[in-house]
Chain A
Amino acid sequence: MKTTLAGARAGWLRCMPAMLIATVLLSGCATTKSPDGTVNNDPYEKTNRQVYNFNDSLDRNFMRPVARGYRHITPEPVRDVITNFFDNLRYLNVVLNSFLQGKLNIGFSDLLRFIINTTVGIGGLFDVATPMGLPVHEEDFGQTLAVWGVDQGAYLNIPLMGLNTARNVPNYGSSYVTNPITYIGGLSFLPLTVLSLINSRANLLDESEFVDEASIDPYTFTREAFLQRRKFLVHDGNPPSEDYDELFDVEAGDESVLIIE
């Protein structure tokens, strides 16, 4: 299972064109236009709902109980340190995508953040960079493709992986190749990955309880919230909020759903 860094890099470079082509193809066929011109961003709703129910059932019966147990036995400061550690390892994907989007200042700030947290922050256990004026950013390959002009594509529910858009699917690849855990061979790879998953799930327990509490149709609720959140990230926290105002301009007879591109 041991993979060399150079080998993986070469593999990644080989994969890039395929990933891009796949994205463009997916995006191209992913949204459908109805006769009145409105875009359906969930053309696979029937399948998505089935996958959503499968993932939800798995989550309720397995992941949530495990995450609750983990949260119960792990003190919050310890969980914070573990979260910092894995966030730092994942941060190279942010660094890469900041540069790929041409945000040089942010890219260098992110790179410096990674270096400082890895060294001064003892392998990323402590976030010492934020108080130093190097804030955390959220960038991924889906956002990079958005900046490059690729359409969002269809909303997808992927078995075991959760929610995504067609445009953001290649981010699985870029996250994988930029995460140092990928290159750790032998016995420590599996427990680290498992801990990372459980810790991430534990950090989202409040959010899933919120969905249970607030929604009357959890599938639609999570889809809308997810797509709006993606738009928010693509626009670096400053999406054109005018889009939402248009809901007030439609007549009472119109039921068009707000389109998030």
Chain B
Amino acid sequence: MIFFTSPLKQHLPGQPISMLPSLPLLLVLLCLSGQVQSLPDSEADNEAANLTVTTLHNALLEIMQQADVLGYDGRVKIMQPVIATHFNSRRIAEVVLGRHWAGLDEAQQEGFVRLFQQLSTATYASRFAGYDGESFHINTTERAKRGRLRVKTELRRPGKPSVTLDYLLQPTHGQWQIINVTANGVSDLSLKRAEYTSVLKENGYNVLRDKLAAKVHALEENARTMTKPVE
């Protein structure tokens, strides 16, 4: 998932954020304790979808605020499980490849989903590599078509216009997972779909795979040279 915004590589104070990880934990405990179950279905769904988005936002805040201390590899380590759990990467991969998805064998499909997750992780870890007072805010949660939910949020940046971030979520095995991110009106998924199908049409799957792998490698190299972890 990428955001079409100016990079957030400002100063890197790396102050502790001891309060942040406790919020999702608290909400998880609340769910487990059955308190949320007493809410009407739609309200419980909204809460669950918001929790997914909040977990992503908290992870992003953590890698932004601790960018220097974590270094690129540390940021990847934090983002990897968040993306694996809270994005439905297989559904996204299917949509991004269009009709070409069905033409891949199972191993290729698995390989593509893995590569796509790596690219998303690398993109987050390299773009959210500094903190300048940014904060995330959930504005509304709306019903979308086919039982999906849209969580509308914004990234507020001191002294700069805020960025609207809309997430589309669908329930999978009882969990609300993100299937699209729209940043300031630019849908990441539809952008990637246009790009990937264009490469597939011209050059075929192997070239697309190699280009994506090269992109992940370039992001890693670039980010590693820009920020070294604090010893």
Residues of A whose CB lies within 8 Å of any CB of B are: 136, 206-207, 209-210, 213-217, 220-221, 223-225, 228-229, 231-233, 235, 237, 239, 241-242, 244-245, 247-250, 252-258
Interface residues of B in 146-201 (CB under 8 A from A): 146, 148, 150, 161, 164, 166, 168, 170, 179-180, 182, 184-187, 189-191, 193-199
CB distance from A261 to the nearest CB of B (A): 13
B100 neighbours in A (Cβ, 8 Å): 255
Q: Is B94 an interface residue (CB 8 A)?
A: yes
* B182 & A252 in contact (Cβ 8 Å cutoff): no
With A210-B7, A221-B191, A247-B190 as contacts: A228 and B198 at CB distance below 8 Å: no
Give B189 Cβ to nearest chain A Cβ, in Å: 6
Q: Chain A's interface: helix, strand, loop or mixed, by majority?
A: helix
**Measured between C-beta atoms, what is the minimum distance from A207 to chain B in Å?**
7
Rounded to whole Å, the gap between the CB of B161 and the closest CB of chain A is 8
- Asked, given contacts A237-B185, A241-B182, A252-B102, whether A225 binds B95 with beta carbons under 8 Å apart, the answer is no
The residues of B with any CB-CB pair to A shorter than 8 Å are: 2, 4, 6-7, 91, 94-95, 98-102, 123, 126, 144-146, 148, 150, 161, 164, 166, 168, 170, 179-180, 182, 184-187, 189-191, 193-199, 208, 211-212, 215, 218-219, 222
Q: Residues of B contacting A252 with CB < 8 Å?
A: 94, 98-99, 101-102
Q: Quick check: B99 and A213 within 8 Å, CB to CB?
A: no
A257 touches B194 (CB 8 A): yes
The docked-state distance in angstroms from the alpha carbon of A239 to that of B186 is 10
Q: Which of B190, B197, B199 contacts A255 (CB 8 A)?
A: B197
Q: A232-B184, A257-B197 are in contact. Are A245 and B190 (CB under 8 A)?
A: no
Given A216-B212, A241-B166, A244-B182: A255 in contact with B198 (beta carbons within 8 A): no
Report the Cα distance A237→B226, complex, angstroms. 34
In the complex, residue of chain B having the shortest beta-carbon distance to the beta carbon of A244 = B187
Interface centre among B144, B189, B191 (most CB of A within 10 A): B191
**B117, chain A: closest CB distance, angstroms:** 16
**B123 contacts across to A, CB distance below 8 A:** 214
Q: B146–A249 contact, CB under 8 A?
A: yes
Rounded to whole angstroms, the CA-CA distance of A256 and B123 in the bound complex is: 26
**Contact residues in A for B197 (Cβ distance below 8 Å):** 255, 257
Question: How far, in Å, is A220 (CB) from chain B's closest CB?
Answer: 4
Query: Does B95 lie within 8 Å of A247, measured CB to CB?
Result: yes
Nearest-CB distance from A47 to chain B (Å)? Answer: 16
Residue of B whose beta carbon sits closest to that of A221 = B195
Contact partners of B187 in chain A: CB under 8 A: 228, 241, 244, 258
